[in-house]
Amino acid sequence: MGMVKYFPLALLISFALVCLVRAQDQSGFISLDSGLPANTSYTDQITGLYYISDASFINTGISKSISPDFRKSIFQEPLWTVRSFPDGLRNCYYINLTAGNRYLIRGTFMYGNYDGQGQVPDFDLYLGANMWDSVKLGQPSDIIYKEIIHVSSLNYIHVCLVNTGSGTPFISALELRPLGNDIYVTQSGSLALLTRWDTGATTNQTIRYKDDVYDRIWWPISYYRWTELNTNLDIKQFNDYRLPSSVMTTAATPIIANSSLDISVTAGNDTTQCYFYMHFAEVEKLQANQSRVINISLNGNQWYGPFSPEYLSSTTIYSKNFSTGDQHVSIYKTESSTLPPILNAFEVYKVIELRQSETGQEEVTAIMDIKSLYSITKNWQGDPCAPKEYSWEGLNCSYNDSNTPRIISLNLSSSGLTGEIAPYISNLTMLKILDLSNNNLTGPIPDFLSQLPFLTVLNLERNNLTGSVSVELIQRSNNGSLLLSVGENPNLCTSLSCEKKKNNIIIPVVASAVGGLFILLLIAAAIILIIKRRKQQGLVTVSFEVNNRSEQLESKKHQFTYADILRITNNFERVLGKGGFGIVYHGYLDGTQVAVKMLSPSSVQGYKEFHTEANLLMRVHHRNLTAFVGNCDDGTNLGLIYEYMVNGDLASQVSDQNAYILSWEVRLRIALEAAQGLEYLHNGCKPPIIHRDVKSTNILLNENYQAKIADFGLSKIFATDDANATHLSTRVVGTPGYLDPEYYTTNWLTEKSDVYSFGIVLLEIVTSRPAILKRPENAHISRWVSSILAKADIKRIVDPRLQANFNINSAWKVVDLAMACVSETATTRPTMSQVVMDLKQCLEVEIARTMENDETKSKDSIPEFGLNFTTGLRPTAR
Ligand SMILES: *[C@@H]1O[C@H](CO)[C@@H](O)[C@H](O)[C@H]1NC(C)=O
Ligand SMILES: *[C@@H]1O[C@H](CO)[C@@H](O)[C@H](O)[C@H]1NC(C)=O
Ligand SMILES: *[C@@H]1O[C@H](CO)[C@@H](O)[C@H](O)[C@H]1NC(C)=O
Ligand SMILES: *[C@@H]1O[C@H](CO)[C@@H](O)[C@H](O)[C@H]1NC(C)=O
Ligand SMILES: *[C@@H]1O[C@H](CO)[C@@H](O)[C@H](O)[C@H]1NC(C)=O
Ligand SMILES: *[C@@H]1O[C@H](CO)[C@@H](O)[C@H](O)[C@H]1NC(C)=O
Ligand SMILES: *[C@@H]1O[C@H](CO)[C@@H](O)[C@H](O)[C@H]1NC(C)=O
Ligand SMILES: *[C@@H]1O[C@H](CO)[C@@H](O)[C@H](O)[C@H]1NC(C)=O
Ligand SMILES: *[C@@H]1O[C@H](CO)[C@@H](O)[C@H](O)[C@H]1NC(C)=O
Ligand SMILES: *[C@@H]1O[C@H](CO)[C@@H](O)[C@H](O)[C@H]1NC(C)=O
């Protein structure tokens, strides 16, 4: 029990000892001798304080030495050099400290004719965003100290010198001293020192470190009505003010024993708030018949007392509340006291309200990082936004009364920037305007720029950026929410076609919850197996190889004359088919097969429109859209040239009349690819392109059975002379069997009309039956499917030639999806993005199944992944 009892006490004592040692060895002190050459330091002979150069705390200013005349007359080495700021309105020190700790911050100023001008300047001193004080020097030899006791909420402070037009600001020394957190506490604001007196001092020397562990400077003061009392004994310190013994061993007392010690403080005007700190210690050993009882009044009112100072022990009496205006303190003895009053030391501070908050720390960090990355000089010092009149050049901020300022605009145009676009910009989340034009920036345009929610102007002109402009930025630009300028970047791809390269990398399988690498391995294994197996079975093989041919063609796209067309088609030698807008011929362009669609003149609405639209189509690129090679606009001969799709259209390939049987997996892949093409038209193009004529004959297959959408965008400009395909109006609005029923009522085509048509295509893919059946006669495929669905018999819906060789869950899901697409009301149909996602899942399931099958067949080389792809895919109750 005893041990437990004494343990806390032991702790307390050792803690006090640690503190004492800490403060004695200047730990936490920051002592900057301004103007000292970089990386140099010294220990001051008088104070023992260790001073270092200020060079690493400020980027600006020049080092100067005071005139030798003045150096002779002072002993303090820190005053021998100054840092002078001939350039810039505001120059700032940036000093790391511990947020939430109380610091005494002191600037020292002695002109000493350092510039040989003999003109003593006046200037202002700021602490962060707020005015701290004005520095007014009378004589070249004047030494001015500006002290403030401050608690920073940030882990740094800016101390700034501001040129007010009365000469060049300079500073001699800048010091920070950590204080105890229980002393000099205010209700609000920070405490700027007005006076700190060592009353009753017997010398005319100031007292500071090492006598004062906090390095407060105590000025000796005497008055003709006062006399001194002192002791040779130490004054013990039992409070946190830790007053220096040398200050406390001397006390002032009035010469006339029964009069008072009076102190008047003029602190400014009536609104100035002051805090008083009075320090007492009895320095005389009183006799039994002696007493010293003190009463204190403030402005004539009783303030504190009566009390007797303790012998050789400090007592600090301070105003807990502030008082305002001129102050008159009177310290007097009570009637019963046999001895006059005493006062050992006295401090007065005025409150400085630091009302202007500084820019948020995250933004400051970001902009400081940008500053150092690009080595920006400008006037980028101190707080970026505050105070407003000194905010950084090229920055605009929002100031909402009490809120912290936010950076809303950053203009670094023509600033000689090199390297990549700084990632730190992503943390300037309130940015509305970003101008990085006319620099030497390289590398890609980072994605985060499209994530900045408020960005309305982005200027990247005249740089050397590479890569491509993201779809998001182009979309924001196209819909008017972003003013985007990217011109004169010679190696930057600025069109939508750049998206193509990106897309080619995407494997058409979602890596949802499973590791991406596993998926890749799976696919690789799947491809090998599928190809192997298909070869054995004599079925169609599928490959994931990216088809480079269309890219080769695209690079040569241009306008063709009618003579070119004749040469390409060898005088229209071979007809491939007859489409909605004319006849399609086979041809060769530079050895590559192409399809040339010659438009029947009667179908073209207007030549100008044709031209505009053809140019638009040239800019639309996707691996699941037939590549547009060029056009011919030669008199009345209008033609469009596309890549040639060897395997023709989906309608004939999937039909049960075709001898080849497309496997379930190939069907899913074709469906997914076609869906991706449509999804791109809807979401990847601005304005969105509505196909208006989605049908299985408009989905073409290349030699790898890769599906591509054809004839997109055409219905907008062309009428048709295909009697079979038109009714309702002279303009093409679709093909019977595929036409959105809601169109009849609203007369309004939307993306959802394409979704409806795609749903019909999906049903064709599943069933291998046409949109309008021959048996039962002229029945619509959707009616037929839903009648069988009512019996929940999926096997009768799917092409019977597949002989149940498919994952039943994925079949259910595709049919569900198709039925959702052909819903009567447009709003209940899914979007193409949803369709793409669902089809990807179905394809995953099927790939997993075929892999399993192959695994059971050839156990030799297949790794076991143990992935359950079928989770969440079940036939739904209907
Ligand atoms: C100061 O020291 C730093 C790091 O040690 C060095 O990079 C810098 O060049 C030095 N500056 C001078 C003026 O010596
Ligand atoms: C201030 O602290 C930061 C890290 O918080 C550091 O990168 C920087 O160098 C420090 N500055 C000085 C002058 O010590
Ligand atoms: C300081 O005190 C010394 C003696 O203690 C005296 O000679 C000197 O004149 C004083 N200086 C001032 C400026 O009062
Ligand atoms: C102070 O004492 C003197 C005599 O010692 C006396 O004349 C005077 O009235 C006293 N003043 C006060 C304010 O008590
Ligand atoms: C008092 O002085 C402060 C500056 O010290 C000033 O802002 C304020 O307006 C003054 N108030 C009056 C009433 O003069
Ligand atoms: C106090 O006592 C001392 C002797 O101890 C005596 O000399 C002195 O006169 C007394 N003073 C008063 C005010 O009674
Ligand atoms: C102290 O001063 C106040 C007001 O000046 C007075 O009311 C009070 O009586 C004094 N106390 C003593 C013990 O003299
Ligand atoms: C953005 O700020 C956060 C939080 O301060 C930081 O963790 C992140 O590294 C910053 N991002 C960049 C790119 O600097
Ligand atoms: C880019 O750098 C080159 C050479 O370094 C320089 O000639 C050119 O002026 C710079 N351009 C800009 C806009 O800063
Ligand atoms: C632009 O960058 C490329 C390398 O990416 C370089 O070859 C070229 O000289 C740069 N152009 C300019 C004007 O700096």
How is residue 107 written in tokens? Answer: 């600037």
Q: Last residue of some domain: 308, 334, 354?
A: 354
Contact 445, 482 (CB under 8 A): no
693 tagged catalytic: yes
- The CATH number of residue 287's host domain is 2.60.120
What is the per-residue pLDDT across 372-398, written as a single tens digit (0 to 9) for each? 999 987 788 889 998 888 889 999 998
In a domain, 293, yes or no: yes
**CATH number of the domain that 434 lies in?**
3.80.10.10
Flag whether 515 is in a domain: no
859-874 average pLDDT score? 31
Q: At which of 181, 215, 244 does a domain end?
A: 181
221 and 340 together in one domain: yes
Q: How confident is the model at residue 327 (pLDDT cuts 50, 70, 90)?
A: confident
* Binding site membership of 40 for ligand 6 (Cβ less than 6 Å): no
Say if residue 446 is in the same domain as residue 558.
Answer: no
Please tell me the distance between residue 369's alpha carbon and the centre of ligand 2 in angstroms. Answer: 12
Pocket test for ligand 9, best of 415, 417, 435, 440 (most atoms within 8 A of CB): 440
Is the confidence at residue 102, as pLDDT, over 90? yes
Q: How confident is the model at residue 265 (pLDDT cuts 50, 70, 90)?
A: confident
Q: Is residue 457 part of a domain?
A: yes
Regarding the beta carbon of 57 and ligand 2, being less than 6 Å apart is answered yes
431 with 576, same domain? no
CATH label of the domain that carries residue 681 = 1.10.510.10
**What is the domain range of residue 688?**
650-720+729-859
Answer whether residue 77 is part of any domain.
yes
Q: Do residues 808 and 814 touch, judged by C-beta distance below 8 A? A: no
Token duo for residue 719: 């009428």
259 SS3 class? coil
Contact 377, 88 (CB under 8 A): no
Taking only the tens place, the pLDDT of each residue in 789-825 is: 888 778 889 998 888 888 888 898 999 999 999 998 8
Q: Is the CB of 98 under 6 A from ligand 2?
A: no
Query: Per-residue pLDDT for 196 more than 70?
Result: yes
Atom 1 in ligand 9: residue holding the nearest Cα = 440
Q: Quick one: which atom of ligand 10 is closest to the CA of 440?
A: 14
Q: Are 486 and 434 in contact (CB under 8 A)?
A: no
Over range 1-21, report the average pLDDT. 30
CA dist 296 and 314 (Å) reads: 17
| 192 Cα–ligand 5 center, Å | 16
List pocket residues of ligand 1, CB cut-off 6 Å. 38-39
pLDDT of residue 224: 82
Q: Does residue 522 form part of some domain?
A: no
Peptide bond into 210 cis (omega under 30): yes
Query: Ligand 5 centroid vs 269 CA: distance in angstroms?
Result: 6
Ligand 9 contact, 440 CB (< 6 A) = yes
Question: pLDDT tens across 200-250, in order?
Answer: 998 888 999 989 999 999 999 888 888 999 999 998 877 889 999 999 999
Domain membership of residue 519 (yes or no) is no
Does ligand 5 have an atom closer than 6 angstroms to the CB of 268? yes
Residue 413 resides in a domain? yes
pLDDT higher than 90, residue 296: yes
Rounded distance, CA 112 to CA 134, Å?
19
Q: Which ligand number lies closest to the CA of residue 491?
A: 10
The CATH number for 612's domain is 3.30.200.20
**Which DSSP symbol is given to 733?**
-
Output the pLDDT for position 72: 75
Residue 598 confidence (pLDDT): 83
Cis-peptide into 776, omega within 30 deg: yes
In angstroms, rounded to a whole number, what is the distance separating the alpha carbons of residues 191 and 274? 8
Tell whether 632 and 689 lie within a shared domain.
no
**pLDDT value at position 20?**
36
Same domain, residue pair 712 and 844: yes
| Range with the largest mean pLDDT of 286-295, 352-361, 747-756 | 286-295
Average pLDDT over residues 47-70: 94
Q: Does ligand 8 have an atom closer than 6 angstroms to the CB of 361? A: no
| Per-residue pLDDT tens digits for 663-691 | 898 999 899 999 999 998 888 877 778 88
Rounded to 10 degrees, what is the CA torsion of 37, 40, 44, 50? 130
Residue 111, domain member (yes or no): yes
Return the ligand 2 atom nearest residue 95 CA. 13
Q: Which of 322, 354, 386 is the last residue of a domain?
A: 354
- Model confidence pLDDT, tens digit, residues 336-355: 999 999 999 999 998 998 88
**Which residue, by CA, sits nearest to atom 14 of ligand 8?**
424
By the 8 A CB rule, do 633 and 607 touch?
yes
What is the number of other CB atoms lying within 10 angstroms of the CB of residue 821?
26
Q: Kindly report which listed range (314-328, 475-489, 604-618, 715-729) carries the lowest average pLDDT score.
A: 715-729
- Among 104, 107, 102, smallest CA distance to 126 is for 107
What pLDDT sits at residue 621? 80
Query: Cβ atoms within 10 A of the Cβ of 122, count?
Result: 15
Q: For 510-537, how does the pLDDT look when each residue is reduced to its tens digit (9 = 90+)?
A: 333 333 333 344 344 444 434 344 333 3
Does residue 274 sit in the same domain as residue 370? no
Q: Measured in angstroms, how far is the CA atom of residue 373 from the centroid of ligand 1?
A: 19
Ligand nearest to the CA of 417: 9
CA of 340 to the centre of ligand 7 (A): 15
Ligand 5 contacts CB of residue 325 (under 6 A) = no
In this structure, the answer to whether residues 116 and 50 fall within a common structural domain is: yes
Cα torsion angle, 656, 661, 667, 673, sign:
negative
173: domain CATH number is 2.60.120.430
Looking at the fold, whether 348 and 371 belong to one and the same domain comes out as no
Closest residue by Cα to atom 2, ligand 3, is: 204
Instruction: Point out the ligand nearest to the CA of residue 489.
Output: 10
Ligand nearest to the CA of 365: 8
Give the number of domains in the chain.
5
Confidence of residue 605 (pLDDT cuts 50, 70, 90): low
Atom of ligand 2 nearest to the CA of 57: 13
Q: Are residues 173 and 233 both part of a single domain?
A: no
Whether residue 850 is found in the same domain as residue 705: yes
Dump pLDDT digits (tens) for 103-118.
Answer: 999 999 999 999 999 9
In this structure, are 679 and 814 located in the same domain? yes
Reported confidence tier of residue 860, pLDDT bands at 50, 70, 90 = very low
Together in a domain, 114 and 227: no
Which pLDDT does position 602 carry in this prediction? 64
Length of the chain: 878
Average pLDDT, the chain: 80
**Catalytic choice (564, 693, 799, 854):** 693
